[in-house]
Each structure stands twice: as structure tokens, then as C-alpha cells.
Amino acid sequence: MSDSETASAELLELIYAYRVSQAIHVAVVLELADHLADGPRAVGDLASVTATHAPTLHRLLRALAAVEVLHEEPDGTFGLTALGEALRGPVGPMAAFIGRPNHWAAWGQLLHSVRTGENAFGAVHGVDVWEYRAQHPEEGAIFDAAMTGLSRRVNAAVAAAHDFGRYGVIVDVGGGHGALLAGIRARHPGVRGVLFDQPAVVAGAEADGLEVVGGSFFETVPAGGDAYLLKSVLHDWEDEPAIEILRTCRRAARAGTALLLIERQFDLPATKFSDLNMLVGPGGRERTIEEYATLLAAAGYELVGETPTPVGVSVFDARAI
């Protein structure tokens, strides 16, 4: 095969990648990995438990086997591979989320965003992602499950990468259901954790041992922290609102108080595509360390260090000045 033919074949794999995403999405919605957890099963059996059309399900199963998510046994049954087994772990909920029509439609307007600089989700749906999920709580629940799943991968690495035990009080701003604080306190029981997020979010928090406070990080955050955490918050926002969030934290902090940003490492290919996801979805952006330093300086902080983790995120360490 010539170099040009090889390049064309490789490019076609990238072009057709959306087909794989949707097939995996359907597999998760049908809970195929759970149904196959105890071993291979016949197509008819799987069709019965998933309420699907057996001949068409067979076509899906064959396609998933072709990309090694499933394995087709000699007797025609299908079982899980290592990739398929991973669908039962923390990344499975993300597959359920990315195939949702509202998310898919926003990505379909990437060209609009590139031409105009506008957020694709708002252009398609007439509201931003936060308002849309408030109006459609079932979609909000799917998104929250996806984020919780990803957090399970990240939180342990973050808790191990930074010495959180040096702080008496940690305020997790935009901390969701409290999984990161719970992981930190499992390592450092003496740390007092304060979980802060929107009231509807913290209502479902893992609140054991935590102080839970509801509110908006554009208005006020709890005072008295020795460290403030912002995990995967700033990348949801363009520069001006991101600076406003940082300024809210600065008003609550004393000089010298730590601010810890947990965000993606920009030099990874996955981060470049996450940046496009921020463009079409919430309307934010991924940033370089220099860009984070600029935001922090505008809000009264100095960036003093970065600690990478093995899962593609870093802890950016800043101090209030």
C-alpha cells in the first residue's frame, strides 16, 4: 500500500469514529456490559433482556466486536473484552452522555462556532447548557452521572499528587456531590471539608463529615478556608466570568491563602479536543499554564507551581496576594 493510500485509510478511521461513539453509546444505554458480566450470551437471549430486535441487535454486536469492545465466540455468542468490561466502570456514564441528542446536535454546529466564535449549544437550543439541564432534569442527571464517573478516575490521582493534609479547612468550590473532598479526607481525616455548589447540586451530596453550603460562585463563597479548590470549573467559562469566579474566591480568602485549580494538562491531544467540547458545549475553553497565570493575576493571585498527575490533569497551585 502506498503512503497516500495508508494516509487515506488512517484518515477514514478518524472520519468514521463517530460511528464507534454512537455504537458504544447504544451499548451503554442497553446495559449490554452488565448483561454480559457473567459471561457470553446468545443474541436472542440478549435481545430478550434488552427489549430489542434480535437481527438488528446482532448487527450492533458484530460492529462492537470489530472494534474489540465485545468478542464473538465460535458458537455465535458474544462476551466482554477488556474494553467492554471498562464500560462497567467510571467511563461508562460518559458514553451514555455523549450520544444524547442535545449534545450531539451542539457538536453538529461546530462549524457555526468556528465561523462566528459563538457557543454552538446556545445557538442550537436557545439557552446555555446550565439552563437547558435545569429545564430538563433528566438530562442533568445523565450529565451528572458522566461527571461523577470521570471524577472517580481523577480524584484518587489528585488526592495522591498534592499534600492536602497541610490545610486545616478546605473549601471545594463547585464541588458537586463531594467526591473529591471525601477522597481527600479519607487520606487526611484531620482536614475539615466545606462543600460549596448550587443548592440543587449539593442536595445530593456525599455529606458525611462535610459542611455543605449552597449558593452561586459568582456571588459569594464560604470564608475561612485555608485552601480553596476549583476542580474542572474554570474551563467551563470564558475569561471574563472565570476571573469573576476567582475574584469571588479572593474576597473570601486571606492573603497567602491557597487556591488550587485542578484542570487538564494542555499539551495532551485529548485536551485539544476537550477545548473544542468547551467551545460547543458550556462555552468555555481549556488553557495553558500561562493563561491560567494571567487569569489568576487579574483576580489577585500568584501562580506558584503545577503538579501533574498520571490521568491528564494538573494541580495548579496559587496564593492570594
Instruction: Please indicate, yes or no, if residue 169 is contained in any of the structural domains.
Output: yes
Once rounded to an integer, what is the mean pLDDT over residues 36-60?
98
176 and 197 Cβ atoms separated by less than 8 Å: yes
Catalytic pick among 58, 103, 177, 235: 235
User: Does residue 235 carry a catalytic annotation?
Assistant: yes
Q: Which tens digits make up the pLDDT trace of 5-37?
A: 899 999 999 999 999 999 999 999 999 999 999
pTM for the structure as a whole: 0.89
Instruction: Please indicate, yes or no, if residue 74 is contained in any of the structural domains.
Output: yes
Q: From CA 83, how far away is CA 93, in angstroms rounded?
A: 14
CA distances to 47, 63, 131 from 60, in Å: 11, 5, 34
- 162 shares its domain with 290: yes
Going 180 to 205 to 26 to 37, the CA torsion angle's sign is: positive
Once rounded to an integer, what is the mean pLDDT over residues 277-306?
97
Q: From CA 25, how far away is CA 17, in angstroms rounded?
A: 13
End residue of a domain, out of 88, 114, 139: 88
The total domain count for the chain is: 2
| Per-residue model confidence (pLDDT) at position 97 | 97
End residue of a domain, out of 88, 117, 139: 88
| Per-residue model confidence (pLDDT) at position 151 | 86
- 179 shares its domain with 314: yes
Q: From CA 204, how far away is CA 144, in angstroms rounded?
A: 11
Q: Which tens digits make up the pLDDT trace of 145-190?
A: 998 888 888 998 999 999 999 999 999 999 988 989 999 999 999 9
| Per-residue model confidence (pLDDT) at position 206 | 67
pLDDT over 80 (residue 245): yes
- Banded pLDDT at 307 (limits 50, 70, 90): very high
- Banded pLDDT at 3 (limits 50, 70, 90): confident
Domain range for 81 is 3-88
The CATH number of residue 174's host domain is 3.40.50.150
Once rounded to an integer, what is the mean pLDDT over residues 238-245?
97
- 78 shares its domain with 224: no
CA distances to 126, 141, 220, 250 from 213, in Å: 30, 20, 11, 18
Give which of 73, 70, 62 is closest to 35, Cα–Cα: 70
| Per-residue model confidence (pLDDT) at position 204 | 73
303 CB contacts (<8 Å, ≥6 apart)?
Answer: 289, 292, 293, 296, 297, 316, 317, 318
| Per-residue model confidence (pLDDT) at position 208 | 80
Q: Which tens digits make up the pLDDT trace of 225-236?
A: 999 999 999 999
The fraction of the chain above a pLDDT of 90, given in percent, is 90
- 198 shares its domain with 298: yes
- Banded pLDDT at 4 (limits 50, 70, 90): confident
Q: From CA 157, how far away is CA 59, in angstroms rounded?
A: 39
